[in-house]
Chain A
Amino acid sequence: DIQMTQSPSSLSASVGDRVTITCRASQGIRNDLGWYQQKPGKAPKRLIYAASSLQSGVPSRFSGSGSGTEFTLTISSLQPEDFATYYCLQHNSYPRTFGQGTKLEIK
C-alpha cells in the first residue's frame, strides 16, 4: 500500500501569509494526487487535481505542484475563509490513501 506522509499536522498563520503544505508518497505516484479542504461539520471539497490543476471555481491563490513522491499545496495569501483542514489523496493505486491532514489555524 502507498503511504502518504503529510506535514505539518498543524499550522498557525495570519491573514495575508503564504503557506505551504507537503505530502510525500512512499513510492512514485506520477501526478495522481489531489488536495482537499474540509471545514468543520462539512464534507471535503476538492481544490487541486492531477497535482497541479486548479478545480473550477477555486481561487487562484491556491496552487499545487510536484510529481513522483513529493507534492506541495501553496496558498499565496491567506484569507479568513481558508482556515480549515487540508488533506492530500493519492489515486494512483488501490487502496487509496489520504495524508493525515493539516489543520490551518489563525495566529
Chain B
Amino acid sequence: EVQLLESGGGLVQPGGSLRLSCAASGFTFSSYAMSWVRQAPGKGLEWVSAISGSGGSTYYADSVKGRFTISRDNSKNTLYLQMNSLKTEDTAVYYCTRLVLQQLVDWGQGTLVTVSS
C-alpha cells in the first residue's frame, strides 16, 4: 500500500523559512516523479512543484519560483520542499503526491503551514 506522510509544517513569521518532508513507502520511490500541491484555507488546489524520479528535473509554479526548492533523497525514500522568504499567502495545507505517468495519483494527508506574525 502506498503511504505518503508529510511533516515539518507549523507557524513561521513572514520572511522565514521552513522545510517540509514527505516519507514515502509501499513503492519503489526512485522510480516515480513526485509533486507538492497546496490548498489555502477555504480555497482551491494549487500545484506547487514537481521533481523527476532521479531528481534531475524540477518544476515550479510561478508563485514560488526562486523561493521554494524541491528535492529528494532516494536512499531515504523522502521528498522535501525547502520554503524560503515565506509570505502570508503561502499559508496552506501542503500535500505530497506521487505521479504515475505524469498524473497525480496518490496523496498524503497534508501538513499545515501558517505564515503569520
Q: Which positions in A face B, CB cutoff 8 Å?
A: 1, 32, 34, 36, 38, 42-46, 49, 87, 89, 91, 94-101
Interchain CB contact under 8 A, B45 and A98? yes
The 0/1 profile, CB within 8 Å of A marked 1, for residues 49-65 of chain B is 01000000001111000
Decide if A44 touches B45 in the complex (CB within 8 Å): yes
Chain A contact residues: helix, strand, loop or mixed: loop
Distance of A43 Cα from B47 Cα, bound (Å): 14
Which A residues touch B62, using CB under 8 A?
Answer: 1, 95
Instruction: Contact check, B102 vs A91: say whether CB atoms are below 8 A apart.
Output: yes
How many A-B residue pairs have C-beta atoms within 8 angstroms? Tell me.
50
Q: How far is the CB of A37 from chain B (nearest CB, A)?
A: 12
Report the minimum CB–CB distance from B15 to chain A (whole Å): 24
B47 close to A96 (CB less than 8 A) = yes
Q: Say yes or no for B108: interface residue by CB 8 A criterion.
A: yes
Contacts of B102 in A (CB 8 A): 32, 91
Contact A44 B44 (CB under 8 A): no
Taking the closest CB of chain A, its distance from the CB of B57, in whole angstroms, is 10
Q: Which of A1, A34, A44, A99 has the most CB of B within 10 A?
A: A44
B104–A95 touching, CB < 8 Å:
no
B109 within 8 A of A: yes
B95 contacts the other chain (CB 8 A): yes
B46 is an interface residue with CB less than 8 A from chain A? yes
The chain B residue with its CB closest to the CB of A1 is B62
| Known A-B contacts A1-B62, A94-B59; A89 and B109 likewise in contact (beta carbons under 8 Å) | no
